[in-house]
């Protein structure tokens, strides 16, 4: 079919583009539907309708529209990229790869296609090819900041890098993208009153039903609002009912997905923000280039990313001794502020905790709900060693979509001497069904070097602890921090041999493991270190000290917060 990108209603098409540019997604959706109904041969109208439908949470319409656009505009690489993005979000990873390979045949130097291909490969668990795709994107466009962030995120999963090499990689990001903006930092006119009510901003693309929101919401609820005014900057188009709950917790809510980094920085400075939080780090849709412009006097990173931003404009990182022991401090550019406990989590509705499966006569079952891109050779070696040490056990692997990913893991474990019959696979599930799968698992096994975070919280709530193995990198202590706050040091190993020995020991202590399983939810509900009030009080005290230092003209510095009993 020939390309069809020209049609009489040019002004209408321009209006459709303007709606999307300004975040008027509902109007764009309605106009796109009307335009494609009247002019079904107009490929660009279908393309833009697909974008609007995706933003409005209508994935089936988005996919239909983008497929139609690709049929009508077969020589437009950007159209194939748009289609691939929707396919990726719907888990159609092999077809997404095919679309991107077509786009790259049409335009080999297309940085966006290389970057998106890396994201698809990352989700498939192909760590090295993903890294190569992000590097290709940067060769095509060295200033492609999001591709550089994606590369850094991928490198945190790469076990061959030393902590110093990983730190240097983040420093190079800061030197390349952040340092040139240093001369543009404004002189902040904020009132230097150490006791004032602080105006605190939060920038995130995940202010919806997302793990990051489940970490920040209970803290927002527990803050002393007589001391803090909360302003949220929503950096993504997508909203849901949880977004509404979050918005109700804030004094001001600003939609900023349509703003450039320069515009966002100007808006934050105009809003008079005293302290600004980055909740994304180098994850998707981050706004680190806004932070690089230093729109607030004090800037912090937290929650979203388990390593450094690499930016000198970000002053602090909030943590605790469970998450960041002293030997890890030098791996971050930011000054570390340790509070008694830096993390809590909002669980929401969940099934009741089920009995320990092994106590009911089932084979002892290890499990994992980690993303495929966390499951590299080091994790597979460790898991295989455990399964050999407990020869009658089996393993359930959840969140593994697609025949290709399952086949890859089956073959990788088979090479390590683990029969396929000992493995059970499940795909990505809605939250209730995912949580219910914990009823089939006795003990979760962590990944290395990038350990569990959200899945460890979910497992604990369902009575299933995660056995973790720390390393010498900042990333590697993420799960240890979660377990340590709850006094679960018996599930923290510091080397592979101890990890395997612990797994074997727990497989033989069914009574103790069953008792722990039955008591974990109550422990989470009462343990002082994971209560929102404790975490919020520590953060609030840290913010006050950061602000006091700025008011006194002192540079940022690491410090520790101790709360009165």
Q: pLDDT digit string (tens) for 528-560?
A: 999 999 999 999 999 999 999 999 999 999 999
Q: Given pLDDT bands bounded at 50, 70 and 90, which one contains residue 503?
A: very high
Q: What share of the chain is helix, strand, coil (3-state, %, to 5)?
A: 55, 10, 35
For the chain, the average pLDDT equals 95
Going from the C-alpha of 443 to that of each of 123, 153, 345, 499, the distances in angstroms are: 25, 27, 21, 12
Among 454, 439, 462, 484, smallest CA distance to 369 is for 454
Contacts of 528 (CB under 8 A, 6+ apart): 534
Whole-number Å distance between alpha carbons of 56 and 424: 36
The phi and psi torsions of 276 (rounded to 5 degrees) equal -120, 125
Confidence of residue 158 (pLDDT cuts 50, 70, 90): confident
For the segment 432-441, the average pLDDT, to the nearest whole number, is: 98
Distances (CA, A) of 503 to 393, 416, 546: 11, 18, 43
**Cα(332)–Cα(309) distance, integer angstroms:** 8
pLDDT on residue 6: 45
* CA 532, chain centre distance (Å): 21
Calculate the dihedral angle through the C-alpha atoms of 18, 22, 26, 32, rounding to the nearest 10 degrees: 20
Compute the distance between CA of residue 459 and CA of residue 463 in angstroms, rounded to an integer.
6
**What does the buried/exposed string (b/e) look like for 345-361 if buried means 16 or more CB atoms within 10 Å of the residue's CB?**
bbbeeeeebbebbbeee
8: pLDDT strictly greater than 60: no
* Backbone torsions φ then ψ of 350, nearest 5 degrees: -155, 155
**Predicted local distance difference test score (pLDDT) of residue 238:** 85
Residue-wise burial string across 156-172, b where 16 or more C-beta atoms lie within 10 A, e elsewhere: bbbbebebeebbebbbe
Tell me the Ramachandran region of residue 542: left when phi exceeds 0, alpha when psi lies from -120 to 50, beta otherwise.
Answer: alpha
Residue 485 structure tokens: 């706050």
Rounded alpha-carbon distances, angstroms, from residue 435 to 369, 439, 496, 510, 516: 10, 8, 28, 21, 18
User: What's the N-to-C CA distance of the chain in angstroms?
Assistant: 74
Domains of the chain: 182-344+534-560 (3.40.50.11380), 357-527 (3.40.50.2000)
- Among 308, 328, 318, smallest CA distance to 167 is for 308
Q: Is the dihedral of CA 459, 461, 462, 466 positive or negative?
A: positive
Q: Taking residues 336-352, what's their average pLDDT?
A: 95
Q: How far apart are CA 415 and CA 368, in angstroms?
A: 19
Residue whose entry in the numeric block shows the structure tokens 């795909």: 427
pLDDT at 487: 97
For 201-255, what is each residue's pLDDT tens digit? 999 999 999 999 999 999 999 999 999 999 999 999 888 999 999 999 999 999 9
Three-state secondary structure string covering 371-394: CHHHCCHHHHHHHHHHHHHCCCCE
Compute the distance between CA of residue 61 and CA of residue 52 in angstroms, rounded to an integer: 9
State the pLDDT at residue 12.
Answer: 86
């Amino acid at each position: 079919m020939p390309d069809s990108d020209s049609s009489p209603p040019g002004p209408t098409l321009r209006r459709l583009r303007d709606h999307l540019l300004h975040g008027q997604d509902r109007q764009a959706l309605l106009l796109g539907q009307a335009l494609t109904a009247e002019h079904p041969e107009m490929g660009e109208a279908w393309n833009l309708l697909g974008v609007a439908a995706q933003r409005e949470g209508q994935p089936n319409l988005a996919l239909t529209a983008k497929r139609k656009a690709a049929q009508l505009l077969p020589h437009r690489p950007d159209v194939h990229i748009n289609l691939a993005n929707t396919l990726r979000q719907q888990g159609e990873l092999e077809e997404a790869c095919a679309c991107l390979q077509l786009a790259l045949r049409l335009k080999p130097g297309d940085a966006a296609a290389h970057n998106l291909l890396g994201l698809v490969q990352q989700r498939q668990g192909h760590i090295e090819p993903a890294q190569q795709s992000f590097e290709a994107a940067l060769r095509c466009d060295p200033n492609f900041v999001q591709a550089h962030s994606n590369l850094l995120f991928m490198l945190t999963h790469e076990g061959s890098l030393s902590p110093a090499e990983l730190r240097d990689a983040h420093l190079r990001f800061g030197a390349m993208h952040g340092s040139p903006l240093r001369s543009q930092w404004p002189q902040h006119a904020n009132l230097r009153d150490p006791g004032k009510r602080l105006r605190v901003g939060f920038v995130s693309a995940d202010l919806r039903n997302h793990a990051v929101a489940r970490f920040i919401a209970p803290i927002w609820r527990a803050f002393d609002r007589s001391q803090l005014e909360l302003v949220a900057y929503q950096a993504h188009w997508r909203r849901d009912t949880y977004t509404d709950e979050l918005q109700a917790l804030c004094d001001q809510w600003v939609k900023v997905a349509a703003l450039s980094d320069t515009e966002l920085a100007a808006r934050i400075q105009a809003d008079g923000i005293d302290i600004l939080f980055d909740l994304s780090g180098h994850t998707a849709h981050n706004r680190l280039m806004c932070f690089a412009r230093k729109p607030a006097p004090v800037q912090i990173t937290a929650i979203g990313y388990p390593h450094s931003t690499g930016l000198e404009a970000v002053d602090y990182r909030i943590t605790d001794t469970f998450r960041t022991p002293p030997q890890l401090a030098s791996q971050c550019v930011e000054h570390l502020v340790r509070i008694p406990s830096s993390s809590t989590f909002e669980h929401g509705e969940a099934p009741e905790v089920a009995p320990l499966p092994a106590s009911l006569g089932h084979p002892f079952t290890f499990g994992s709900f980690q993303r495929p891109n966390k499951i590299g050779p080091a994790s597979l070696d460790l898991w295989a060693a455990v399964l050999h040490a407990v020869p009658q056990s089996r393993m359930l692997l959840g969140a593994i979509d697609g025949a290709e990913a399952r086949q890859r893991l089956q073959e990788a474990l088979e090479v390590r001497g683990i029969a396929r019959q000992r493995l059970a696979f499940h795909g990505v599930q809605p939250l209730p069904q995912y949580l219910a799968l914990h009823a089939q698992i006795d003990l979760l096994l962590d990944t290395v070097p990038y350990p569990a975070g959200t899945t460890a919280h979910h497992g604990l709530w369902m009575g299933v602890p995660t056995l973790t193995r720390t390393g010498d990198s900042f990333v590697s202590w993420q799960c240890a921090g979660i377990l340590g706050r709850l006094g679960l040091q018996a599930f923290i190993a510091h080397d592979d041999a101890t990890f395997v020995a612990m797994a074997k020991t727990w497989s033989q202590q069914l009574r103790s493991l069953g008792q722990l399983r039955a008591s974990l939810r109550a422990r989470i509900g009462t343990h002082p270190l994971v209560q929102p009030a404790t975490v919020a009080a520590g953060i609030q005290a840290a913010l006050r000290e950061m602000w006091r230092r700025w008011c006194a003209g002192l540079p940022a510095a690491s410090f520790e917060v101790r709360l009165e009993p």
